[in-house]
Copies of this chain bind each other. A is one copy, B any other.
Amino acid sequence: MVPHLTTALNGPINELEQRILESMPAIERWFRLEWMEHTPPFYTSADLRNAGFKLAPVDTNLFPSTFNNLTPEMLPLAVQAAMAAIEKICPEAKNLLLIPEQRSNSFYLQNVAQLVQIFNQAGLNVRLGSMDPALTAPMPVALPDGSELTLEPLLRNRGRLGLKDFDPCTILLNNDLSGGVPRALQHLHEQYLLPPLHAGWGVRRKSRHFQSYEEVAKKFAKLLGMDPWLINPMHGQCGKVDFDTPSGLDCVKSNVDALLTKVRRKYKEYGINEKPFVVVKADNAAGQGILTVRDVKDLDDRERVMRGREGLVSEGQVPDELIIQEGVPTYERMNDAVAEPVVMMIDRYVVGGFYRVHADRGIDEGLCSPGSRYVPLAFAGSHTLPKPGSKPGASAPNRFYMYGVIGRLAMLAAAYELEATDPDAESYE
């Protein structure tokens, strides 16, 4: 089953789909050349939004936690990609230490179990290390299907990190470090720590990512001879925002105002008869927007602003650095619920995808939030194999191929971003 796109089938996205299909060998070659110069993140997921007139990534996750949504048909692709990834990093590896989030949510645990299976099948003994300093002995954790995972205490030994009788070549983080970088992970020189520490939220900024994405989108748009705006969500940023003083939101207001003006101009250019909106998000934390803003005056509603901000206070952190992003409505619907595609990638490969479906949210709101009707929905069939010759917009494989291309653009942007922010990078200046 494929979500229905509620917009007209002759919108700009269908032209984009057409152009992407026609340019398939050129696009794949372009990616191949980019990957000669840039190292893909170990794994990535990208949340996309298809507005009919525009298709763009709105969030790029470097610690993807939704591998549980891959179908059995997608798993062989994930295993093959994992083999390619491991081979490049540590071909002689026997052991992989996986460090998950401290979350007991059963979906998340299934994600961890899926990762264990993928890397096991790729030829690695996988064990789980816990970041919980209170854990002193192995602890079994039950999964809904009756199987179990075992979390073990980390053992740090000078330059190396491991578990009892377990010395891994590679340490794979499935933890976005929003709670900070534990000492056990610092100054590891003899082992590969992936993703690197600067991919964690202590260092990472969404604005930096979208700056890289803009660069990638421009290159790609040049290759295809199109307007990069069709795939790029514009953005502005504010550093630390002081919510407590009257002028604290001034930066946000001026950015919102400027961005709304730019979007309005674009809508006019393309004859899009809608009211533009922007989303205010934490720049340095996971999660979706704190506020959807259609008019700069919305920001004068102090109660509303503070309520939005409260929603982002997690693990004691107040993410007060903000990014202001062009809102991209999602016009895909499953029955009556709003749906948003998520592309899952390992190494440089798309290994699958699914839809986040949320009946309680609007088309202009983030869908990555708790909700009883949140239904992940796997992409149908051969999601990476387009069918040339099908009518634009009418073929699910073609739509999914396009999503895979845009997902990979977000991944490439993350590669640029991680290079630019690497504290150990050698400078040739």
Interface SS of chain A: helix
**A93 contacts partner chain B, Cβ-Cβ < 8 Å:** yes
Contact of B93 with A29 in the complex, beta carbons under 8 Å: yes
**A27 contacts which chain B residues (CB < 8 A)?**
123
Contact of B24 with A91 in the complex, beta carbons under 8 Å: no
**A92 contacts which chain B residues (CB < 8 A)?**
29, 32-33, 36
A81–B81 Cα distance when bound, in Å, is 9
* Neighbour of A32 across the interface among B28, B36, B76, B123, CB < 8 A: B123
Question: A98-125 interface mask toward B, CB cutoff 8 Å, 1 = contact, 0 = none?
Answer: 0000000000000000000000111111
Contact of B75 with A382 in the complex, beta carbons under 8 Å: yes
User: Nearest-CB distance from A294 to chain B (Å)?
Assistant: 41
Contact of B25 with A76 in the complex, beta carbons under 8 Å: no
Question: A43-63 interface mask toward B, CB cutoff 8 Å, 1 = contact, 0 = none?
Answer: 000000000000000000000
* Neighbour of A385 across the interface among B33, B76, B87, CB < 8 A: B76
Contact of A91 with B36 in the complex, beta carbons under 8 Å: yes
A35–B36 Cα distance when bound, in Å, is 21
Contact of B79 with A76 in the complex, beta carbons under 8 Å: no
Contact of A28 with B122 in the complex, beta carbons under 8 Å: yes
Contact of B25 with A79 in the complex, beta carbons under 8 Å: no
Contact of A79 with B385 in the complex, beta carbons under 8 Å: yes
Contact of A123 with B28 in the complex, beta carbons under 8 Å: yes
Q: Which of A86, A92, A349, A385 has the most CB of B within 10 A?
A: A385
**A77 contacts partner chain B, Cβ-Cβ < 8 Å:** yes
A28–B28 Cα distance when bound, in Å, is 28
Contact of B73 with A121 in the complex, beta carbons under 8 Å: no
Contact of B72 with A385 in the complex, beta carbons under 8 Å: yes
Contact of A124 with B29 in the complex, beta carbons under 8 Å: yes
Contact of B384 with A79 in the complex, beta carbons under 8 Å: yes
**A385 contacts which chain B residues (CB < 8 A)?**
72, 75-76, 79, 121
**A83 contacts partner chain B, Cβ-Cβ < 8 Å:** yes
Given contacts A36-B91, A384-B79, contact A84 B86 (CB under 8 A): no
**A75 contacts which chain B residues (CB < 8 A)?**
382, 385
Given contacts A33-B91, A84-B84, contact A76 B28 (CB under 8 A): no
A356–B28 Cα distance when bound, in Å, is 34
Given contacts A32-B91, A91-B33, A94-B29, contact A381 B121 (CB under 8 A): no
**A319 contacts partner chain B, Cβ-Cβ < 8 Å:** no
**A31 contacts partner chain B, Cβ-Cβ < 8 Å:** yes
**A383 contacts partner chain B, Cβ-Cβ < 8 Å:** yes
**A11 contacts partner chain B, Cβ-Cβ < 8 Å:** no
**A80 contacts partner chain B, Cβ-Cβ < 8 Å:** yes
A87–B40 Cα distance when bound, in Å, is 14
Question: A358-387 interface mask toward B, CB cutoff 8 Å, 1 = contact, 0 = none?
Answer: 000000000000000000000001111110
- With A29-B93, A32-B92, A79-B385 given, name 8 new contacts (CB 8 A): A25-B125, A26-B123, A27-B123, A28-B83, A28-B121, A28-B123, A29-B92, A32-B123
3 closest residue pairs by CB, A with B = A28-B123, A76-B384, A29-B123
